[in-house]
Structure 1
Amino acid sequence: MGYRIASNIGIALGNIKLGNDYYLNQLDEANREQSRHFLRDIMGRDIRYIADETQTSLSLAIEASKKVIEENKVDIEEIDMVICISHTPEYVSPTMARMILDALGGGKDTVNCLDMNVNCTGMLVALDMADRYFKTDENLSKILVVQGDSNSNFNIEKGSPFFGCLGDIGCAVILERDDESGIQSRYFLMDKTMGMNIVYPKDGYSKPNPVLYTDPNLDARVDMGANLIAEKYDKEKIDHMKLICMSQFAYVNCQKYIEMSQIDAEKVPYIGDQYGYTGASSPILALKAGIEQGKLNRGDTFLLWTYGAGTQHVVLEMKY
């Protein structure tokens, strides 16, 4: 007893399309070429979309939700729960999930609406949470999971590895009750050595002028996640999986995993060059690309893997 992810994944992008040069031109000429190499070859950035003055994390979430409802031909009255993921919420009261539901037409009176922030693991944690809801409440039929983030709102210093790397996005999926599909196994791993390497606000909200702090020696510890996957899934099982949809934080991290696991590179989609790094939705965007490229069919298994603030890895083995 679980769910399947509906075929169409809805996204909404910021209205401002920016290339790397927009950010590189803000740097001293002496640092420009090194930063060009870092953005393009290490982080894998090319294009990202930034919200304009008419857009917010809420409006992006609403737009993505409308798209996923329409494209999957779902009636709002069928939605039993809305989970909104954001680390840049436009509102904290009422919940953004409630506001999204209102924007979609209101739905049933019994809908459960909740917001959550688990940094960049948010959508995967929401998928895990939804699975547990489906298994304990037989009345659930469909759950809307949506992320809305205006990552460009972070005050990022020019020396930070995040400078020029982020994109703004709304991303939504519909989860439909299904006895054959969904989560097959799940694993969580905490790196206790990296607890405060990405901190926002650096000095807490009680202090003025919030800034994103990033440890200059930031390391997402891809080896930890890769070793966890190798420990839990043998090579034959990994080879049987059609896609490995991992964090799109850095192109080199995807390449590092491909080399460590000796897996076919075609199974590890990279889309960080198309959207920038979008946080919680990045492995879902990789999944969307895999589906649209015809690499995943109903009944196939795939892996979702990401890490939040460089400290917590989440791995979900799923059946499509």
Structure 2
Amino acid sequence: MTAQKNTAIGLDSVRDFSTLGSEQKERLFRSMWQEYRVRPGMCVSVFDAQLQEDFTFCYRKENRFMDFGFFLEGAFANDLRKTPIGRLNLENRAGEGGMGFFREIEGTVTIPAGKKTRLIHVHVLPDVLRSLLEQDMETVHPELRGALEPREGNDFYRRRCLQPMVQAVANELFFGVRNNFGVRMYMEGKVLELLGLFLAEGGNPAADKKAALSPRERDVIHAIRAELEERYASPPTLAEIAARHHMGVSKVQAGFRAVFGMSVFNFLKEYKLQKAKMLFDEGDMNVSEVAWTIGYINLSHFGAAFRKRFGVLPKAYHKSIRARAHGVGHGRA
């Protein structure tokens, strides 16, 4: 397959639209897909859609890039029928992320109607990522480290839940691309920040083993996290969570620290504040609406917590986002 040249990013496009099967699908996909060149050998793509009917398309490609995906909103199925490591049937959901490298890939994507779907990918050539990591090479996941070696047979794929901070940075980068924020230094900084955070939290594949968690117990810990993310504005108590999932309170706490690196309380607090930051970035709510949405009744308490976490009051942050969207830096780089 020969990739189409994308003059907007200055290197081969990561998406060849000619494989979608029809001109109608090609036009629809182009309206939802956007690419941004960060530097030679590195680009970002965003997908932003709310469809009135299910959208299914098949694709195939020969790939030179390592891909890092961050699912911000919605869900969709990706049936990877042909990869060098076998068939993978992926159900991608908001709050999950993955990294992989497949030299050849073929599959089918199904995006459901009726729900907003947002995701962002960072695409990096192996040589570029290797030069960025340099002294940090030993800290990344062994499979990624192996894929950076110049040899055949090192294709891989890994997926995991995203920490709230990673989700927040991915969201900032998403809106930077979608809103055509034109300061290249800011955009490149966000990409490097996102990759750094994502790789740092996934560098130790033995992290779960430290808590002596069985596979079933790790699944329970992930299910508890999903429940907290769904009910973050009015969360259940730790005792209620433990009882519902048939796990002791101390085991829940220990498991959370092992899998996600923080206590249940700190995870929930961080998730709520990062959610507030995302809502401000989206630009549709004022300070009071954001506070109430994430479960703060007292605006002073919300302001103090936001300032302690991000170093700025919510009102000032909201004002800076509005100024950026309507003036400073507006225009495609």
Q: Structure 2 length normalisation: TM-score?
A: 0.25
Identify which of structures 1 and 2 has the higher relative contact order when contacts are C-alpha pairs closer than 8 Å and 6+ apart: 1
Look at both structures and tell me which one has the larger radius of gyration over its CA atoms.
2
Q: Structure 1 length normalisation: TM-score?
A: 0.26
